[in-house]
Amino acid sequence: MSTSVKDKVIEIIAEQAVLEPQDISLDATLEDLGIDSLQLVESIFAIEEAFDIQVPFNANDPSASEFDISSVGAIVRAVEGLVAEQAA
């Protein structure tokens, strides 16, 4: 994981969870962090804005989306993938 993507994603999630970035562990789930569906949609929006990417995410059924939101680490890896695709 590149530090910059990881740090930025964690910063975005921490802001939504009203926590400090150092309190966000990579194996935490969004549920662990108390992030609800609206905060999740806001996080996805913030990620898209920060990295200028399109995140394939449908709030109607998040588990069916290609974008893995099962943990903070999964989100970081998914964003890294999208950023790499963008650069390619």
Chain residues that interact with another protein, rule: CB under 8 A? 37-38, 41, 44-45, 54, 57-61
- 42-71 residues labelled b (16+ CB within 10 A) or e (exposed): ebbebbeeebeeebebeeeebeebebebeb
Q: Give me the count of residues in the chain.
A: 88
In the complex, what is the shortest distance from the CB of residue 60 to another protein, in angstroms, rounded to a whole number? 4
Q: Which one, 25 or 37, has the nearer CB to another protein? A: 37
In the complex, what is the shortest distance from the CB of residue 1 to another protein, in angstroms, rounded to a whole number? 25
In the complex, what is the shortest distance from the CB of residue 87 to another protein, in angstroms, rounded to a whole number? 21
Q: Which one, 64 or 87, has the nearer CB to another protein? A: 64
Helix extents (H) in 1-88 = 3-17, 37-51, 72-87
